[in-house]
Amino acid sequence: MPYVTIKMLEGRTEEQKRALVERVTEAVVETTGASKEKVVVFIEDMQRNHYAVGGKRLSDQ
């Protein structure tokens, strides 16, 4: 059972997330041979103040 975790900054629409889950699931099925029903996708929305690059939070930029 493949598990996929996607971490991204918050702000995507439900439609975008739905499309992302569908496309990722398709890619996993095609590359691993797993059945669609066995692919689990987690989306973790991150707040800008919980994410930093180069020592600076994105919310501070």
Cα atoms found within 13 Å of the Cα of residue 8, Cβ hemisphere only = 13
Cα separation, 4 vs 32, in Å, equals 13
For the question of residue 25 being annotated catalytic, the response is: no
Catalytic residue among 1, 2, 34, 37: 2
- SS3 state at 4: strand
Active-site residue numbers?
A: 2
